[in-house]
Structure 1
Amino acid sequence: MEKFDIAIIGGGPAGIMAAIAASRTSRVILLEKNPSLGCKLLLTGGGRCNITNGKPIKQLLTFFNNKNFLKHSFYTFTNEDLLSLFDLDFISEEDDRIFPKSGKSSDILKGLNDLLEDVSICYNFEVKSISDDFVINDKLKADKIIIATGGVTYPKTGSGIYNYSLTSQPITDIRYGLSPLVTKKDLSDIAGVTIRDVVISYKKSKVRGDVLFSHVGLTGPGIINISNEISESISYNLLESQPDIDLEIAIDLCPELSRDDLKFKFTNDFQKKGKTRLKNYLKLFLTNSFTDFFLDEINLDGNLELSRVNKKSKNRLVENLKRFTFEITDFNSNLAKVTIGGIDLTHVNPRTMESTLTPGLYFAGEVLNLHGPTGGYNLKIAFSTGYLAGISASEK
């Protein structure tokens, strides 16, 4: 039976980074169930790889509920440390999202692969059992093990609920994160249309961003981020059942103007531009391709001249511009980007990523109960916790 200092289970961003860090001083094997590494990494950022978020660490940590747990890993392996590993140019885009200038996630994966030259890699290797003395599948043995198997999203990349059963480590409820939403209403007529810089509300939560309409519902950065608030407010656990959803979200289509501002503007404009048709006037606030849908939904005639719009219709217009609602019936789970929940952080040392229950067992990345918004935050978690797990396992 072949023996290694460290066995790493999972060849995603966290597992790869753990292997790179650990291999500097230890004999390491990386076990991947797919025929290649980084399957999910290639999908990130729309195939461009939003490798991290460039905000200063102190500010970056404010975007995470478990910021105290992440603090040590973020300072141990910074964005500068990460980007310096690559012989690539990077660019910063809106909200400090960092991408390779080439726009190719494959360039990031190639750079990481080049750093694995001292790591033994075993492809098409599905880990089914880990014994108490760290024998894996009765085939190989390790002094220490790092589990970086990811969550439950994108199962085609190797994720799955069964990954949580490899150890007896306590697990929190598992939920979908950063997911598009399925609407009760068929939105096929406006599929592909985007409304920009709006405010999406669910209960007391508000998120500002773009909304994209799809054939089955809503997506885009704003929707993706509010989905976390929705998911965490519902009682369900994917280890046991699927969520049962019947709720409403609201979109403020004119966040820069209050209801009073809109009423005042309408009073003046409807008098001055009385011959203008309503659908043409609304181009001041809405995209052309969304206007007809909006008017149909609130039952107003777009061909009506402004001078003929009565007070009741004006009020309806104002109310819906400030609070346009959609009934939500499900998560579009096939496109959920991350997993909410995972290995309970109570029993993991944040300074090493080692289990406090099983010495020599470490965790990294999405398998942990860690998640953030869209925009490079989740890859930041993967790379930093992976690096910390790797150096901790190799130094002890």
Structure 2
Amino acid sequence: MEEFDIAIIGGGPAGIMAAIAISSDLNVVLLEKNSSLGKKLLITGGGRCNITNGKPIKKLLNSFHDKNFLKHSFYTFTNEMLLDLFRNKGLDFITEDNNRIFPETEKSLDVLNILKDYLSDITIKYNYNVSDIKKDGNFIINNDIIAKKVIIATGGATFSKTGSTGDGYLLTDNPLTNIKYALVPLVTKKDLSDIAGITLYEVIIKYKHFKISGDVLISHVGLTGPGILNISTEISRNADYNILKDADVKLNESLAIDLCPNFNQDELRFKFTNDFQDKGKTYIKNYLKYFLTNNFIPFFLEEAGIDGETQLSRINKKQKNKLVESLKNFKFEIIGFNKDLSHVTLGGIAIDNVNPKTMESTIMEDLYFAGEILEPVGPTGGYNLKIAFSTGYLAGLSASKKIKK
């Protein structure tokens, strides 16, 4: 058997960063089931790699349900430390809307190549699928590798084409939460194929007590876009299912979209009252161009039950109230998730059994977790790569410190 100080399982962002954080005088092996590292990293940000979010740490943490768990790792490995790793190799960054940070080349491959460059002293085994871990003093992996410490960074259970199939959950006795889809497009009850491709810009999406601002893109099967992806995590959190057990998830939910967030209902009614008098001969289908994307108007009016050829002067009180309600609370019935496009996994190794100051299991000594295999998940915009890099770094640093040479 080959012997190592530390074995890292999973060659994604968390696993790579764990390897980078480990002291250079230690013997480390990185075990990757694919034929190359960072497959999921390459597709993040549409291939541009939204590497992190540039908010100050306190504001960044407020975007997570699990901020107390993530706090130590975020302060241990900050955004500046992360970006300096790349700047030291000649790659700088640009910041776009909502504090999203991208490499200036806008190529995720440039990010991955630099990360790989830091691994020159690390043993990497490709096409290595870990199926068994035992502990007898040291860890024994697949009966052919011995390691003093193990870091599991195998990712979640979504985007399986990148190797994230959930198999890492089964390698230890650490308890799991329910495993669910997150940042996932939604399937609607109504067929939206006739209006697929339309984007509703800067609207407010409402689900129960949650309100999220963002763009909504209408697809052939339902709704997607940044705003929908973020609200989908809350819908998923509210649903009772586990993707490791339930092959198909059926929902009976609804969400509402405020198509006119710059007006409240009273302001809209007042505006309609005046405009319907002043512009009485204008057809409602033309008038709504002031509020809605042009190619969305026919669908909107059909759902509201109003003929687009109706002149404003002929809109009655009931119709006016329906227009106001539809503009402020345009409803979609949600029946499922477009699971093949789920960006990340909600849930995983329960954080109640992981030390947030080290990422070490509180159930098994010398076992560490990092990245998406853990329970926390964040919104779109670089938050989830931030989790991966910071928890990975902390796990590597912590495991490194405990090794007695």
Secondary structure of 2:157's aligned partner: coil
Matched, 1:33 2:39: no
Question: Match for 2:307: what amino acid?
Answer: D
- Equivalent in the alignment of 1:214: 219
Cα displacement string for residues 325-364 of structure 1 (whole angstroms, at most 9, x for unaligned residues): 1111101111111111111111111111111111110000
- Equivalent in the alignment of 1:169: 174
**Which residue, 202, 209, 232 being the options, matches 2:237?**
232
* Rounded Cα–Cα distance in structure 2 between residues aligned with 1:325 and 1:181: 13
Matched, 1:105 2:111: no
Cα displacement string for residues 159-191 of structure 1 (whole angstroms, at most 9, x for unaligned residues): 113221101111111111111100111111111
Matched, 1:77 2:77: yes
Deviation at 1:239, TM superposition (A): 2.6
**Which residue, 284, 290, 297 being the options, matches 1:284?**
290
Q: What are the within-5 Å matches in structure 2 for residues 259-298 of structure 1?
A: 259-298=265-304
Preserved contact between residue 25 and residue 394 of structure 1 (Cα < 8 Å): no
Secondary structure of 1:109's aligned partner: helix
Task: Provide the aligned C-alpha RMSD in A.
Answer: 1.0
* Rounded Cα–Cα distance in structure 2 between residues aligned with 1:327 and 1:25: 57
Question: Match for 2:309: what amino acid?
Answer: N
* Rounded Cα–Cα distance in structure 2 between residues aligned with 1:94 and 1:25: 41
- Equivalent in the alignment of 1:13: 13
- Equivalent in the alignment of 2:375: 369
What fraction of aligned residue pairs are identical, expressed as a percent?
65
Q: What are the within-5 Å matches in structure 2 for residues 196-345 of structure 1?
A: 196-241=201-246, 242-345=248-351
Q: What are the within-5 Å matches in structure 2 for residues 40-189 of structure 1?
A: 40-86=40-86, 87-133=90-136, 134-189=139-194
Deviation at 1:244, TM superposition (A): 2.6
Deviation at 1:23, TM superposition (A): 4.9
Deviation at 1:65, TM superposition (A): 1.2
Secondary structure of 2:187's aligned partner: strand
Secondary structure of 1:40's aligned partner: helix
Preserved contact between residue 155 and residue 166 of structure 2 (Cα < 8 Å): no
Question: Match for 2:155: what amino acid?
Answer: G
Structure 1 moving runs of 4+ over 2 Å: none
* Rounded Cα–Cα distance in structure 2 between residues aligned with 1:189 and 1:4: 58
Secondary structure of 2:340's aligned partner: helix
Preserved contact between residue 11 and residue 32 of structure 1 (Cα < 8 Å): yes
- Equivalent in the alignment of 1:3: 3
* Rounded Cα–Cα distance in structure 2 between residues aligned with 1:70 and 1:162: 24
Deviation at 1:12, TM superposition (A): 0.6
Deviation at 1:313, TM superposition (A): 1.1
Preserved contact between residue 14 and residue 386 of structure 1 (Cα < 8 Å): yes
5+ residue gaps in structure 1?
Answer: none
Preserved contact between residue 255 and residue 332 of structure 2 (Cα < 8 Å): yes
**Which residue, 191, 195, 198 being the options, matches 1:190?**
195
* Rounded Cα–Cα distance in structure 2 between residues aligned with 1:105 and 1:168: 35
* Rounded Cα–Cα distance in structure 1 between residues aligned with 2:42 and 2:322: 46
Question: Match for 1:283: what amino acid?
Answer: K
* Rounded Cα–Cα distance in structure 2 between residues aligned with 1:343 and 1:259: 45
How many residues get paired?
A: 396
Question: Match for 1:216: what amino acid?
Answer: V
Question: Match for 1:278: what amino acid?
Answer: I
Question: Match for 1:90: what amino acid?
Answer: F
Preserved contact between residue 234 and residue 243 of structure 1 (Cα < 8 Å): no
Preserved contact between residue 12 and residue 150 of structure 1 (Cα < 8 Å): yes
Question: Match for 2:81: what amino acid?
Answer: D
Cα displacement string for residues 85-110 of structure 1 (whole angstroms, at most 9, x for unaligned residues): 11212111111010111111111111
Structure 1 window deviating more from structure 2 (235-244 vs 66-75): it is 235-244
